[in-house]
Structure 1
Amino acid sequence: MMAQRSKIAIVDDERSMRVQLESLLAGNEYELALFESGMALLAKLSELDPDLIILDLMMPEIDGFEVCRQVKAQPQFQHIPIILVTVLDASKALVEGLEAGADDFIQKPVSRLELRARVRSMLRIKKQYDELEAMLKMREELSNMIVHDMSSSIVSVQLNATLMQEKQVDEEQKERIDSILMAADRLDEFVNDMLMLAKMEQSKLRIHPTMTHIQQLILDAEKHFKIIAQSRGIELKLELPKMQLKMELDANLFRRVLANLLSNALQYSPEGTTVTVKLEILPPDQKGHHLRLQVIDEGPGIPEAYRKRIFEKFEVVELKKKGVAQIGLGLTFCKLAVDAHCGKIYVAPNRPNGSMFIVEI
């Protein structure tokens, strides 16, 4: 089976130069497409999807620097290598070309050996990029498959534990079943966070704002987490305003944000401490935010150096290695959900011990 040929776009306003570059690269290795201007290339870029662009620098309408900038400004084309070809002073063109996003540079008159060597080098880099992208995509699809399979197992655990709970059991068995259900619920939340996180990053998640009673969401969460708090010897305390607060937001997403923050606080709080959920109505002149939700714990706290990093998923592994508590994908999900509501989430120290996770929407 013949290997797929690499697609190369040659862009030069002089026909003789296009023909010369075409002849220097002639053979069975490459599929060549010739363009008389940068505008012509940009118009056909999506359709052609080249593996490499050989671009003249001095052209009418828009020069090679601007073509380079426009190509690299589009995420789907940023990985395409660009070789600039010019008669200009090499050092000056090189600096400006690299700033515009070019990957390599060759001076006129063009040597056949040099051109083919640089083309092979750039195509090798492009091939490595494509292979890495394919591997990452396959790994992501495998991860999603595993998460979906985990969901089925968790549902089975929850169902069987619930059926056991409905039968007459002694107090000790009841406590153990409650522990199984709590652990299953926690794992279910984690799996759902992973699924929702993937969908949000792929722009597949749709926000559905409705008029939502904020205090009631908090009261509903308290019913669930109060059992967990009591089992760990932690007091769960609410501080809610008397004035009823209703807002247009995605109730399901906000409920998950609250659940993640509460679960996180309870997991890392020592026995005999208090976790407080505090809701405030903000004055309308404060940057457009109308509510401030705080989940306050008396746990180990988060060092100042890490407070801005704990919401980024690529920081989680590194911070875990350093022994930083209260981090995980749940916080990344919270940030994406809050950002989707044009709000902000951050963490501050709770004096003398603990953390305050703050959401403003």
Structure 2
Amino acid sequence: MNSQNSRSDKILVVDDSPDNVFLIKTILEEEGYTVSTAENGASALAQLEASPCDLVLLDLMMPGMDGYEVTRRIRGNAAMQQYIPILLITAHDAPNVAKGLDLGADDFIRKPVTVDELLARVRSLLRLKHSIDERDEIARQREDFVSRLTHDLRTPLVAADRVLMLFQQGALGALSPQMQEVITIMARSNTNLLSMVNTLLEVYRFEAGRKTLAFQPVNLPQLLEEVVGELTPLVEAKSLSMNLVIAENTTISEIMGDRLELHRLFTNLIGNAIKFTDSGSVNVRLSSAFASGKSDESHTSENSTASDYIIIEVEDTGPGIPPEEQATLFERFRQGSHKSSGSGLGLYLSRRIVEAHEGTIQVKSEFGKGSVFIVMLPVKS
């Protein structure tokens, strides 16, 4: 047995030839590997879904579902969260090994296989598998640590926020004007930090798969009116104007969604528009779109389908976004060049919320002339 094997790696051998399967299985088992077999592609996929392995040895030419299709399905299966290397086994006259590699296979070996070459390629791909698994485990541990840290940070920040509020309300005694000014600055800084911690916590909940959304009917015009009302003091403080426009011919105003997360989404988008706009206005528009190509005038709520969308646009007259920043705007920790840019998490979280509702978000911006963020949310009957 190979002393390099620190654990019994599980290998799936897929080949329609019993002789080939027996040969390869014998070689691998003598090296201490745990080997399972499948005589066709469908059986291989069923085994992988039931019990993932560490490596797949896959015959390229099989009747029915060939190795190309098996490779494509393995790489396209989102349920297989762990990476599984694929080693293609091909005859000398196999026409297009490159096609298999392009579909996601990692290496190939030609028949008839030699013991040394087979074992060398198996060891190489298993090293790759172990390296990726270790990297993913480190990433998971880091995300768990950040999630716990941000959760623990919220407690003292919330407590500080309440104490500062008591000071501002005079519940702990009268304050001099100088102290009022200091407390106001402290309260604002604490609120910003608490908001950042909350955003970071939500981001890692999404990334760790621990975010559970509570879907229910949500009246979007009502929700937008609520968000706009809550943010009006910020608009007034900057002497901006803010308008909420519901298109007259919008016949669909309700979707199935998580109201709390949608509230967070629009608060972030509208809040950003206010923050980056020094003069002019912030406009929020709601309308409908239909995949059938029908206009709002001819479309009624009775014939809505899963292809119908509600569109929410948040437009500002701010400085706009440089073209080179627009491509990465919704990525994690991508801070803009503007002096008011934050941690780079707000728009990333917004994208995750939109995607959780099976919608899309995009930005259109002309540098120096403002931006418009466009959210499309599907209406499901």
When residues 241 and 55 of structure 1 are mapped into structure 2, their CA distance, relative to the original with a 3 A threshold, is closer
Equivalent residue for 1:123?
Answer: 126
Which residue of 48, 60, 85 maps to 1:81? 85
Q: Is the Cα contact below 8 Å between 1:277 and 1:293 reproduced in 2?
A: no
Give the fraction of aligned pairs with identical amino acids, expressed as a percent: 30
Say which structure is richer in helix. 1
Aligned residue among 176, 179, 188 for 2:182:
176
Q: Which SS does the other structure have where 2:61 is aligned?
A: coil
* 2:221 paired with 1:204: no
Gaps of 5+ in 2: 290-294, 297-306
Query: Residue 260 and residue 277 in structure 1: after superposition, are their counterparts in 2 closer, same or farther (change >3 A)?
Result: same
- Determine helix, strand or coil for the equivalent of 2:128: helix
Corresponding residue to 1:42 among 45, 49, 52: 45
In structure 2, what is the Cα distance between the partners aligned to 1:324 and 1:131? 38
| Residue aligning to 2:316 | 296
What RMSD in Å do the two structures reach over aligned CA positions?
Answer: 3.2
What is the alpha-carbon distance in structure 1 between the residues aligned to residue 115 and residue 246 of structure 2?
A: 80
Instruction: Answer yes or no: is 1:217 the counterpart of 2:227.
Output: yes
Counterpart residue type for residue 174 of structure 1: Q
Aligned residues: 345
Aligned CA distance change for structure 1 residues 132 and 264 (closer, same or farther; 3 Å): same
Pair 1:264-2:272 in alignment? yes
The 5 Å alignment of 1:107-122 reads 107-122=110-125
CA contact (8 A) 1:292 1:359 kept: yes
| Corresponding residue number in structure 2 for 1:282 | 287
- Structure 2 counterpart SS, 1:69: helix
In the alignment, residue 264 of structure 1 is paired with which amino acid? Answer: N
Tell me the residue number matched to 1:163. Answer: 166
Q: CA 1:170/1:64 → structure 2, altered by over 3 Å: closer, same or farther?
A: same
Matches for 1:186-197 after TM superposition, within 5 Å: 186-197=192-203
Contact 1:71 1:78 in 2 (8 A): no
Note closer, same or farther for the CA distance 1:13–1:116 as it changes in structure 2 (3 Å cut).
same
Alignment match, 2:303: none
Q: Letter of the aligned partner of 1:191 in structure 2?
A: V
Unaligned runs of 5+ in 1: none
Aligned to 1:330: 346
Distance 1:218 1:291, change over 3 A: farther
Decide whether aligned partners of structure 1 residues 140 and 96 sit closer, same or farther in structure 2, where only a CA change above 3 A counts.
Answer: same
Contact 1:72 1:78 in 2 (8 A): no
Q: Which amino acid aligns with 2:167?
A: M
Q: Please say if residues 65 and 97 of structure 1, whose CA atoms lie closer than 8 Å, have aligned partners that are also in contact.
A: yes
Counterpart code for 2:284: L
Q: 1:312 to 1:53 in 2, by over 3 A?
A: same
> How many Å separate the matches in 2 of 1:265 and 1:141?
32
Q: Which amino acid is 2:351 matched to?
A: K
CA distance in 1, matches of 2:155, 2:142: 20
Distance 1:96 1:280, change over 3 A: closer
The equivalent of 1:306 in structure 2 is 325
